[in-house]
Amino acid sequence: MKLKEVDLPGIGKKFSLLTSHNERIDVIIHINGKREMFIFEDADDDEPDADVILNEEEANQLGSILMGVYFKPETEKAKELILKNLVIEWVEVDKDSPLANHTLKELEIRKRTGTTVIAILRGKDFIINPSPTEVIKEGDTLVVVGSKEQIENFKKEFKVKD
Amino acid sequence: MAEHSYSFLLLFGAICVTLFFLGYIAKIIRFPSIVFFVLAGILLGGFISGEHTLERISELGIVLLFFYLGLEFKIERALQVAKKIWLVGLLDILLNFALIILLMKLLNFDLFTAFLIAGLSYASSSAITTKIIVDNKRVANPETELILGLMVFEDIFSPLILAILSSFAVTKTLSLKVIVIILIKVLAVFAIFTAITFLVRDKLAKLIDSILEEDIFVLFTLGLVILAAGITKKIGLSEALGAFLAGVLIAECGKEKEIEKYLLPIKDLAVALFFMIFGASIAIGKIKIDERLISILIVLIAFSIVGKFLTGFIGGLLYGLSKRSAAIAGFSIINRGEFSVVMTKFAPSTLLPLAGVYVLTMSLLGTIFAQYAPTLARLIFPRKKKKKKRKISYT
């Protein structure tokens, strides 16, 4: 891998990434915040084979996906390690819980605590992979997944009694 | 008095609206707005003759144009660019400036006029070129670095040409003594400027931070710029040099982003008026274009096209580009625009029609050349057939 940085006066900065497959990705960050990405199938090509324009938000999103924020492929060994640290917690929502009567989206659970709600137990129903717009109700039981620390965060943040 | 100010408001408003509509048309048909602003001036010429207030505002056009060039300019970064580009920059001066002086001398012009016309033909329009490169998604292409670097080179050489022209305009004769005096003046300005920069850089940055949100901020920045421009003009080195250096000073403080935002509307207004007033001055001149002037114009346009193309092409090859990329560079920089208009400030009224037609022709032709540069380059140097998974078409 090789990274090159060049000033483009009046436009912004160009970053060229030469990959191990001899392909090239050029990222241009414009002075006004616009990002442009150009893909050269052969690093020595004069003209790009594809290009994308991103605004700042989209660029950040793409960047975090590439960094593996949402999904990180691990080797088998690492997986075992993760499993050892993985905690699944069942949380009951009582009447005065800050969780009650809010959607998952509003609560920003992942952002605030790092944990994920993988299921909601509501009476006889079992909602697996609830959508972000799902409203949590009094009496629900949430199935929360995360590391030990993250689960602790969750309990603190939403005032869950042990 | 009351009646007069009323009619000025009416005129000023009508002119702004007219410029807006023409600029809007330019945007839709994707032509440089400078062409339409100049045309507006030619059309409106009769209405605005003798409107000194408008002319005064338009003077800010040159000042702010060069101030903004300075803002984009950091000494350290410029030195880096210069290291890679100086050979191409010299070629540019040789083919599009020195050669034109020689040509005009051969056509029996006096040295001042020859110098002026060479100034007219020297710099490409960085506004037109940069816009086309961004709009056509050519930012990542190999020739783009060279083109933008060359624009920076021209940005610093243009205020120098203006400085020499403006001293020259007073004396009208060129002797060794005159040249030496001009050079000493320029060097002195640069020395003082560098000293000021290093002395006040940090303090100025702090000051800017503390008044950034205040209503007096615009007075500070505009005052700084115009005062610097006024000083260099007063000592006969043209307002462009002072304005440019004021921009560099701000950039060296690292505050260019903040200031850029604040003065942009004033700059856009002043520059639009400046181009329009230029157009109007052509109409006011009402001088018949004689045959000799037409043939000179044609020769000049031909040299301007070939000269810039060769600069980009030979320069591109020297820079290590492929033949096709070098040709794209050549076609992309043929256009002329704002710099040529600025040079006409010193033109005698007999030359204004020539300058006007030249700028209009070169900005239009140059836009077309730049727009279709990849297509033209591929016609001359066909690309080798290559198996592609995906293909992008350029229009």
Contacts of A10 in chain B (CB under 8 A): 72, 126, 130, 148, 151
Taking the C-alpha atoms of B184, B185, B187 and B193 in order, what is their torsion angle to the nearest 10 degrees? 160
C-alpha closest to that of B161 among B116, B194, B191: B116
Q: Check CB contact of A46 with chain B, cutoff 8 Å.
A: yes
Query: CA-CA distance, A26 to A11, in Å (whole number)?
Result: 14
Contacts of B133 in chain A (CB under 8 A): 11
In a mutagenesis test of the A interface, which of B81, B134, B333 is the best target, namely the one with the most A β-carbons within 10 Å? Answer: B134
Q: Check CB contact of A26 with chain B, cutoff 8 Å.
A: yes
pTM score, whole prediction:
0.74
Contacts of B137 in chain A (CB under 8 A): 36, 38, 48, 51
Q: Which residue of chain A is at minimal alpha-carbon distance from B71?
A: A10
Query: CA-CA distance, A156 to B124, in Å (whole number)?
Result: 64
> Rounded to a whole number, what is the distance in Å from the CA of B331 to chain A's nearest CA?
16
Q: In what order do the strands lie in the sheet with A12-18?
A: A2-8, A12-18, A24-30, A35-40, A50-54
Under 8 Å between Cβ of B325 and B114: no
Contacts of B139 in chain A (CB under 8 A): 8, 11, 14, 28, 36, 38
Which has the minimum average pLDDT: A10-24, B167-181, B195-209, B218-232? Answer: B167-181
Written as six digits, the tokens of B339 are 């710099």
Chain B residues 110-129 within an 8 A CB cutoff of chain A: 126
Q: For Cα atoms A18, A22, A25, give the angle at the middle one, nearest 5 degrees.
A: 40
Contacts of A9 in chain B (CB under 8 A): 72-73, 77, 81, 148-149, 151-152
Residues linked to residue A92 through DSSP beta bridges, in sequence order:
A141
pLDDT digits (tens, 9 = 90+) for B113-146: 898 999 999 999 988 898 899 888 899 898 999 9
Q: For residue B377, what pLDDT band results from cuts at 50, 70 and 90? A: very high
* Mean predicted lDDT score pLDDT of chain B: 86
Residues A91-99, mean pLDDT to the nearest whole number: 85
Q: For residue B182, what is the DSSP state?
A: H
Q: For residue B3, what pLDDT band results from cuts at 50, 70 and 90? A: very low
What does the domain layout of chain B look like in residue ranges?
2-380
Task: For residue A44, give the 3-state DSSP assignment.
Answer: coil
Between B169 and B336, residue with greater pLDDT? B336
Q: Check CB contact of A65 with chain B, cutoff 8 Å.
A: no
Under 8 Å between Cβ of A48 and B186: no
Q: For Cα atoms B245, B248, B249, give the angle at the middle one, nearest 5 degrees.
A: 90
Beta strands in chain B (DSSP E): none
In a mutagenesis test of the A interface, which of B128, B139, B392 is the best target, namely the one with the most A β-carbons within 10 Å? Answer: B139
Determine the residue type at B111: L
What does the domain layout of chain A look like in residue ranges?
2-67, 78-157
Residues A25-48, mean pLDDT to the nearest whole number: 88
What percent of chain B lies above the pLDDT cut of 70? 93
Question: Which residues make Cβ contacts (< 8 Å) with residue B372, sequence separation at least 6?
Answer: B331
Question: Which residues make Cβ contacts (< 8 Å) with residue B319, sequence separation at least 6?
Answer: B84, B85, B88, B146, B326
Query: CA-CA distance, B359 to B355, in Å (whole number)?
Result: 6
CATH 1.20.1530.20 given to domain B2-380 = yes
Report the sign of the C-alpha dihedral through residues B76, B251, B164, B286, in that order: positive
Q: What is the CATH number of domain A78-157?
A: 3.30.70.1450
In Å, what is the CA distance from B113 to each residue of A136, B104, B254, B302?
82, 8, 40, 19
Query: CA-CA distance, A57 to B220, in Å (whole number)?
Result: 34
pLDDT digits (tens, 9 = 90+) for B39-79: 898 888 777 777 788 888 888 999 999 999 898 888 887 88
Q: Check CB contact of A96 with chain B, cutoff 8 Å.
A: no
Could you identify the residue written with the tokens 């020395």?
B191
